[in-house]
A and B are shown apart, each in its own frame.
Chain A
Amino acid sequence: MNTQIPILVLILPFFAAFFIPLLSGRLGEKVSKIGITAQSISFLISILTLYHLTRHPPIRTSLFPDLATANPLFGFGLYIDRLSAVMMVLVTGVSTIIHVFSKTYLHQDPGYARFFSLLSLITFALLGLVTSPNLIIFFIFWQLISWLLYLLLAFNYTHHETCRAAFKTFIIFRLGDLFFLAGIFLAYHYYGTLDFPLLFEKASASNITLSLFPGDLIEINVVTAISLLIFVGAMSKSAQFPLHVWLPDTMFGPTPVSALMHAGIVNSGGFLLNRLAPLYGLSPVSLNIVFIFGAFTTVLGASMMLVQNDVKKMLGYSTIAQMGYMIMECGLGAFALAIFHFIAHGLFKASFFLSAGSVIHTTRVEPKSPKLPKTVQGLSGPKPAMVFSRLIWFTGFIVTLILPLIILFSAHDVFHIPLNDEAHGAVIFLFFGWVTSSQAIISIYRMNATASWKVIGIMLSALALIIFTYLFAGELFTVFLYPGPGESALYFEAAALPAALFDSLVILTSITIISVWVFLYAKARGREILMPSWINPLKERFYVLFVNRLYLDLFYQKLSRNVIQVAHKLDKRYLSWLP
């Protein structure tokens, strides 16, 4: 395959974005076909590129070599390795589906051509991001995505709330950009290059420390400083606590935009960490901080999701939790697993959002929809007895608790997992597999609490499938994305948590899962669980806290109001004499 061909993957959506508004007057709604065709061809070429890269080294193409000579900072070009190629397939695939969906969804909308043009343009920006050869070009596309998403979210710009939410999204992205740029600045200042391979090489060859305050009171490793600053940028795009507040408010945007956002744009933070994995691999401190933020976001996102009463908002909070999960994986050095995770999440979340639109529509036009489950339908009458099966409960309970033992034994080298030599990596994979399968099995139990071998079969299959996916497919994917000898093991080693902390984490998670099973048991048997008296008020407090989104929105509002007040005082009281 000619190495210039992948350029078409970017060029086609870019030209589609220009031709759509130009030809909209003549073609009417048929202009959508331009976008669909461009995305489809890009998708096919992306698949070809991915296939090509399974056998060949990464593709490096310089687009305007003269410009790069004049100013090395602006080295426009493409760098396509396996990671980029996988992302190209995901972006173009999801974008094609969304284009096809939008064709009907936006039928007769006055902004039809504008929407398709912006959609093609943001696809181009996403593709530019994943194929960037250096940090500055990455940052250029990173910013373009922020702006284009703002315009897409504000698609219905006559609606005040829509504009407010779009602006909020943009401003939080810019806050992240601020730190990202500072990180880039530091990287360039200390290493003199922003080209990925060179930057990693220079960073690993030097060990520079930076004094935060005069007198060398607090010193920080430059790699740590750079990676943490850039991580703030990733936090804003990937909706990590405390920069997650933009995501739940974006539900006023058109459904296809939500789908694209949840399937593609929020993943850009995770992609950034992956792209800079060799840099993060040099800083265990940064990886640990990344892990903490990811874990915190997962718990908060999932908790806030539970108290929502709006389908799209639930999905939004679920995305926050999933992004936290993904960032947590990066923080544990399982970078490839994070990519695997967000591909899977991207696909299912895009399908959820695209279906959510029609579900909401059906509910609006059909008064009896959605049909309630039988147990809920009879709420007005006498409360039916809860169905309970000891066999199913016991199976679920045991199955979800076998894994933590294996994890703990493997972590302490009592067992050796014969998958590969990276035992610690396998433990991490097992850990995530366990948490995911526990969640799935509890959900299956709640949906089907009847004594049936079928349910047991489903539970075991879910366990087997998830563990297989995490251990085998995850491992294979890691080897595929990071084929360098010992490369992925290096990240796992750098991210390794202290043994005591890791054990505590597994034990804490086990206790949480046991508690859920006990709670389910007691609830199904109609028994009261003896709780200390302070638990119920605490639960209520947490409920209020999560319903109010931890009051973070209010905090930001107050902060911005204070800034405006200071500006007002400055303008009207102290400096009114100045023009």
Chain B
Amino acid sequence: METTINLSQVLIILPILGAILGLIFRHKPKAFMLYFQGMVATELVSLIILSDFLAGSVTLPLSFIVVLAGACITLGRHLESTSPFDIFETFILMGLGLGFLLNPNNLGLIFLIGLFALLIVIQYRAKGFSDLNTRWVVGLYGTGIVFLSTSLSLSGQSQQVVLFLAYAMLLPLFPLHGAYLSLLNCLSGVLPAFLAVFLPVLGLHGLLPLLSFLPDEIKQVILFCAMLGVIIASLRGLVQIRISNILSQTALVFWSILWWYLCGSDIKPSAGIIFLSSAGFALCGLFLSGHTLKSRYGDLLVDQFGGLGSVMPRFSVLFVLLIMAGMGLPLFGVFSGFIAMAFSPSMTFSWSLAIILLAWFFASWRLPLLMQGTLFGKSNPNWIYRDLDLRETTALSFILIVLLILGLAPDAFFGLEHLDEIPVALMKAVR
């Protein structure tokens, strides 16, 4: 165990150190991007090498999701991104996140405090304090820092309560979702694509050991909050006019559905992880597509794009497939993950399932409209259109392949088939 922990620190140091050294190339966009691609490849290889040490715990699949998401957004980042430091910030965040995932002690919580603090700084730099979104981030993540710091000196039930609240900000639970959604709505560059999947991964990792200690009454309250989140986000998603806003509401629906599952009794971590990774990658791909459009044509409303189907065929095909994945159509992972959760033995036919099914229906309303708004219609003859380049195509294709694998062979991915053999209560020992 000791060796594993020591070796795994490489995975934390590598992205943080790599990000800092990468600043040397900040004035040479091509070299800057190449450097970070090399870095993420190194990180991925390191994780594969160390995977044997981490096998059998939830840490491995969750670390894989984080690094793979990092790899996808590094590949898919437009050369002239709207935010020059987004990739640098992504790597620092990745390092801190892995620090939390790989350290089953207070050190992990210290990494998490650092991550919250960095997110506040990033949001403040992007929008300033006058923006309502920044206040949400500062308010919630500031409280998160206080909770996490307090938890270092607490033990027992009180520690569990404060930790739970902090984690519920990462895996957004209504009404603690504000900071997460603000980050997705406001940040530019590839950061929203990364954060969409990254923060919930950290949240789930923290929550899994706590769930078995939650009393049923509290679970009912959480379920109520999650269902409220599903309803509000499903409805609000219908009237959003910016790609990022539509996707952020979709994200809240996804994570509320995951909360619904986590509130059940006798849950299987593998089903939750399949859904988390699938929904996360679908969001990552959709946000990355949004970044592609934003970096080419600016921050436009959905209807202002129009007609991309005929002028950006490569983008259109991949975007259609991502929309398919995002609204839970087979053969992609979101569908398999949802089915795996909904068909678990503990699930019964209840009002909450009816709401979840309605949310599923609203996703089929919201996302095809987003697709129609961007791809269908006539293109603007005054615009200069440019389809995806090879790197961007590879990134989106890679995400789709991951989603397809998760859809067709959900349990075989990440070695999840062995994960359910570990009862959730015993996972406490892993932390």
Contact = CB atoms under 8 A, between A and B. Distances in A.
Nearest to A156: B376
23 contacts: A64-B408, A67-B408, A136-B339, A144-B330, A144-B331, A157-B309, A157-B375, A158-B307, A158-B376, A158-B377, A163-B376, A163-B377, A171-B365, A175-B361, A178-B357, A181-B357, A181-B360, A185-B342, A570-B235, A571-B240, A575-B232, A578-B181, A579-B185
Interface string A537-573: 0000000000000000000000000011011101100
Secondary structure of the A contact surface, majority rule:
helix
Interface string B216-257: 000000000000000010011011100000001000000000
Given A143-B329, A163-B372, A570-B235, A178 B178 contact: no
Contacts of A157: 309, 372, 375-377
A568 B357 contact: no
A182 B358 CA distance: 11
Given A170-B364, A177-B361, 6 more contacts: A71-B410, A157-B375, A157-B376, A575-B236, A578-B175, A578-B232
A567 B239 contact: yes
A167 B181 CA distance: 28
B90 to A, nearest CB: 21
B114 interface: no
Interface of B: 132-133, 136, 175, 177-178, 181-182, 185, 232, 235-236, 238-240, 248, 307, 309-310, 320, 324, 329-331, 335-336, 339-340, 342-343, 347-349, 353-354, 357-358, 360-361, 364-365, 368-369, 372, 375-378, 408-412, 417
Contacts of B335: 140, 143
Contacts of B342: 185
A531 B310 CA distance: 60
Given A70-B412, A563-B238, A564-B239, A570 B232 contact: yes
A73 interface: yes
A564 B360 CA distance: 17
Interface in A151-189: 151, 154, 157-158, 160, 163, 167, 170-171, 174-175, 177-178, 181-182, 185-186, 188-189
A51 B143 CA distance: 72
Contacts of A140: 330-331, 335
Interface of A: 64, 66-67, 70-71, 73-74, 110, 136, 140, 143-144, 147, 150-151, 154, 157-158, 160, 163, 167, 170-171, 174-175, 177-178, 181-182, 185-186, 188-189, 563-564, 566-568, 570-571, 575, 577-579
A171 B347 contact: no
Contacts of A74: 336, 408, 410
A154 B336 CA distance: 27
B401 to A, nearest CB: 14
Residue of A154, A178, A578 with highest tally of chain B CB at under 10 A = A578
Contacts, number: 116
Nearest to A160: B377
B409 A67 contact: yes
A71 B340 contact: yes
A147 B365 CA distance: 12
A163 B374 CA distance: 12
Nearest to A186: B349
A167 B347 CA distance: 32
Nearest to B306: A158
A577 B132 contact: yes
Contacts of B336: 74
Contacts of A568: 239
A559 B361 CA distance: 15
B232 to A, nearest CB: 7
| 6 A-B pairs with least C-beta separation | A579-B181, A140-B330, A174-B364, A567-B235, A157-B376, A70-B411
B243 to A, nearest CB: 15
A71 B417 CA distance: 9
Contacts of A181: 357, 360
B352 to A, nearest CB: 12
Given A73-B339, A136-B339, A157-B377, A150 B329 contact: no
A147 B347 CA distance: 28
A73 B336 CA distance: 9
Contacts of B378: 158
Contacts of B239: 564, 567-568, 571
A175 B336 CA distance: 20
Nearest to A572: B239
A577 B181 CA distance: 12
B178 A578 contact: yes
